[in-house]
Amino acid sequence: MAVVTSTRTGAIRQKPFAWSFSRMKNFEVCPKRHYEIDLAKNVKEPEGEQLRWGNFVHKALADRCGPNRVPLPKDLVSAMPFAEAWAMKVLGSTGDVYVEEGLAMSKEFTSVGNFDANVWLRVKCDFMRVVGDVALAVDWKTGKILEDSVQLALTAACIFAKFPQVKAVRSTYVWLKDDCESSETFYRDDMPAMWRSIWHRIEAMETAHKHTNYPPTPSGMCKSWCAVKSCPHNGKSTH
């Protein structure tokens, strides 16, 4: 079940290892589910109402903070009355603004394109503002508060790689339902320690990739939640 590509002559070549924060989280929940959905793409994640709403909110805020400053839809203003104030707050009055910005780096921690051959890590920055040697990165959140500073740190790392003049990044979750934020400020000198703290997690993913070894991790959510029906733990298994 290896994730492979074929050359023009038909030779099989394994795709290089690349990851993101969401893929790391999915791998740690269940390697088999991660493989089937994220890598092999044998299964498509069902698009429930919560995901559709999240996509709608992200698109609306990207339009609001983008160059055309499109007003927020009435449905969003009604459901999340604080959204407009947050959009205006992060926009500020100075700096270069980026919305829905894809950032990526190589394993040598250099900035690369999202689809370059040597891409290693990808992040998606919902909103970013760069002012001189400081940057603000915002991740819009529509669900309940679940803080994880690793995602904030990875966004900061990719910003440092992309913008060599930036010395400090304030990386922020904005919880739109609760009208609050969770922020952490990172400095360039923080990055080596950050990488050391999560390197074992990255190595676990890379080892699984190298050996194409993605065993299932059964849990109480398998039967009612997981879309991978080919797994014997699913309850709706095809085997």
HEC profile for 179-216?
Answer: CEEEEEEEEHHHHHHHHHHHHHHHHHHHHHHHHCCCCC
Residue 143 lies in a domain: yes
pLDDT in tens, 94-107: 999 999 999 999 99
Average pLDDT score, the chain: 91
Residue 157 lies in a domain: yes
Residue 172 lies in a domain: yes
Residue 73 lies in a domain: no
What pLDDT score was predicted for residue 227? Answer: 87
SS3 128: strand
Domain of residue 111: give its range.
18-48+88-225
Question: Looking at the predicted structure, is the pLDDT value of residue 190 above 80?
Answer: yes
Residue 235 lies in a domain: no
Non-local (6+) Cβ contacts of 124 within 8 A are 100, 101, 102, 103
Residue 69 lies in a domain: no
Residue 57 lies in a domain: no
Residue 136 lies in a domain: yes
pLDDT in tens, 87-143: 999 999 999 999 999 999 999 999 999 999 999 999 999 999 999 999 999 999 999
Question: Could you give the CA distance from residue 222 to residue 180 in angstroms, rounded to a whole number?
Answer: 33
pTM for the structure as a whole: 0.90
The enclosing domain of 183 has a CATH number of: 3.90.320
Q: Helices 49-65 and 83-91, interaxial angle, to 10°?
A: 40
